[in-house]
Amino acid sequence: MILIVDLCWKEESLSRYEFVSPIEGIVRGAGFPSVTRHFAGIEEGDLDGVSAVILCGTALQDNRFAGEVERFAWLRTCPVPVLGICAGMQAVAAVFGGRIEPDLRIGMTDVSVLRPDGIFAGKELFQAYELHAFAVAPPACFEVLAVSEGGVQAIRHVSRPVYGVLFHPEVRNEWVVTRFLEEHAGPA
């Protein structure tokens, strides 16, 4: 079971269809069952029986999650692999001590892989879609896996399978989510 976390400003917002539904489709297409919960309602029991967590992105002006970072404190001890996408990466970085910094970017960017972690194996350069108002200064316990001209695009915890990507893989790089699942969530 994959736990998909909706970071949109409110449960069942219209943004859900742009940022959460595509991730649900990718997970389903990869053969994994999933359950979706809004970040404001995550409870300890929501991790029972879960093999991985995906934190979805949000709309450009939707930053409620950033004012409620402590709601993500459970990530510090999360026993399963985590992938944060855009706002999800920002939440991951912030809860581990990194910084979220203003940086408006919209459109395609060239992403250079610095460390070929399993998710990015065989990729040296690829194009990705970014839509964000903030970038991440990763905490010391994370290594940078990929960058673009605009800054950090992918990070990984140095000792745990906790990842973040600032670009939106649901737009043109579904393989990122699929590889994360195949590599870290076990058989579908």
Domains of the chain: 2-185 (3.40.50.880)
Mean pLDDT calculated for residue range 88-115:
96
The whole-number pLDDT of residue 60 equals 78
Mean pLDDT calculated for residue range 103-110:
95
Let me know if 86 is a catalytic residue: yes
In the predicted model, is pLDDT for residue 120 greater than 80?
yes
pTM over 0.85: yes
Let me know if 168 is a catalytic residue: yes
For residue 99, the tally of other CB atoms under 10 A from its CB is 13
The whole-number pLDDT of residue 63 equals 80
Q: Which of 86, 130, 132, 184 is catalytic?
A: 86
The whole-number pLDDT of residue 83 equals 98
Give φ, ψ of 48 to 5 degrees. -65, 125
The whole-number pLDDT of residue 134 equals 93
- Find out whether 93 and 137 touch, Cβ atoms under 8 Å: yes
In the predicted model, is pLDDT for residue 188 greater than 70?
no
Q: Shortest CA distance to 139 belongs to which of 114, 119, 164?
A: 164
Return the H-helix or E-strand segment holding 18: helix 16-19
**Most confidently modeled range among 8-12, 101-105, 116-120, 165-169:** 165-169
User: pLDDT digit string (tens) for 31-78?
Assistant: 999 999 999 999 878 899 999 999 999 987 888 888 889 999 999 999
For residue 178, the tally of other CB atoms under 10 A from its CB is 18
pLDDT band at 186 (very low <50, low <70, confident <90, very high): confident
Mean pLDDT calculated for residue range 23-27:
97
Let me know if 170 is a catalytic residue: yes
- Sign of the CA dihedral running 47, 134, 98, 162: positive
Q: Which of 132, 157, 168, 184 is catalytic?
A: 168
